[in-house]
Amino acid sequence: MIAAFLNLFFGLGYVYLGVKKVLGVPTIGFVLIALVIFIVLGRFTLGLASLVFAILLAVDGWQKGGGGKGFISAE
């Protein structure tokens, strides 16, 4: 649950879980890229695309936190 909640904020749940790479990018780099994506998508879609992106990250964090594989590639 903690990883899912933290993933709502730019993918910080991956840092909490100790994941080293997300989609082939170091975790900190992914968090920074996610922050830019949130800002850009939020600006042009009135926040709707950012909300969808946050929910997808949260579901993936919830699955990984529960021991599952999730659907976003992470090492």
Res 10 pLDDT > 90: no
Distance of CA 50 to the CA centre of its chain: 11
Residue 27's H or E segment, with its range, is helix 27-45
Amino acid, single-letter form, for residue 59: V
Q: pTM for the complete prediction?
A: 0.85
Res 63 pLDDT > 90: yes
22-to-29, 43, 44, 45, 47 alpha-carbon distances in Å:
9, 25, 25, 25, 24
Res 17 pLDDT > 90: yes
